[in-house]
Every structure is written in structure tokens, then in C-alpha cells.
Structure 1
């Protein structure tokens, strides 16, 4: 009997990677992708533990789940930091900080 790949094993891995990349978008996209990946990984793990001899691709699920957890932590930190900066400096101050940073970066080149 030929082994089947676990459903959504590649998608879990991709969502885990996107959760880490999504932490750069104020954390919101990363949180969304991480939660989806963790839920899908939980379902795939339950399916794999029922019949491990039937399915392959469990390594993708484990790697995707680890990446999603890391992405969730990074995204939560990024989201909390964004809220902190916006609450202390305000939107105008935040925009000024970004403008000052970009000007400093362009002057360095």
C-alpha cells in the first residue's frame, strides 16, 4: 500500500513561514497565519496519530507548527510594540519616526 501525504502538510509549512514574514506587518498578518497553521497542524497530527503507517509528510507538519509558534511569538511582540508606540507617541509621532529613519537610511548610502 502506497503512503498518502497528509492533507495540507505543505500548506501548514507555507503558513508557518508566512507567519514569520507577517510579523513585519505590525504583527496582524503573522498572528492570523500562525493561528491557522497551528489549528491545521493539530488536525493533521490527530489524523497521523490514528494511522501513522498510511500517511507521510508528518515532518512538514511538525516544521510548520514550530515555525507557526515562532511566528506567533514574534508577531505578538510586534503587535504589542506597535500598540505601545502608537499609544505613547501617537500616529503623528510614529510617522515622524519612520520619516526620520528613512531619511537617515538614505543619507547613509
Structure 2
């Protein structure tokens, strides 16, 4: 790795960084007790639960924005489409949470080649 290029990457569009959808196995939320302690956020993988036992959906991705986990999006992927079935906001979410989800969704669809 070229040490001389460290720290020269492009800065995010926002001073606090863009909103990001995290996968259920993302390192930030993998250790559930730490996630609860740092963010006050309880995340459970519900993919293997019967539908009537799921609180937020089948494949739920937390939305990270402004250094907070502010919402959850239940996503489904088909061959050419990524769909948000349901969004649940956290009690202390910022008013712009739906817009932040739209932005994060647009970045994710671009990243997986759907746009």
C-alpha cells in the first residue's frame, strides 16, 4: 500500500458524512451489546423467524446518519431490483429521516449496479 496517498480520498458531500444503509452483518452492529450501549439500538436478525414474529421485517438494514442509527429498512432484492418494503424510524429520529433513507437507497442501488 502506498502510504503517501493515505488521507487524500474524496471527502463526503456532507460534513458529517452521507447516510448509509448497513447490512445486518456489518461490523458496526455485529456485536449487539455494543450496538445497544453506543446507539441505544437493538437489532435482531429476523430472517429465520416466522413472519408474525418479525418486528421490523425479513431482511432489515439499519440506517446510519448523523452518527446515529435512526431507522430500519426492510429490503428485498430480485435479479434487477432492490425494493424497500417497510421503513421504521427510531423514536429520536431527525425529521429528514425519509430523505436520508432515499439518499442511502440511491447509493446502495448504484453500488450493486441497479441504477
Give the TM interval when normalised to the shorter protein: under 0.3
In terms of fraction of residues, the more strand-rich structure is 2
TM-score, with normalisation over the residues of structure 1? 0.27
In terms of fraction of residues, the more helix-rich structure is 1
Bigger relative contact order, structure 1 or 2 (CA pairs below 8 A, ≥6 apart):
1
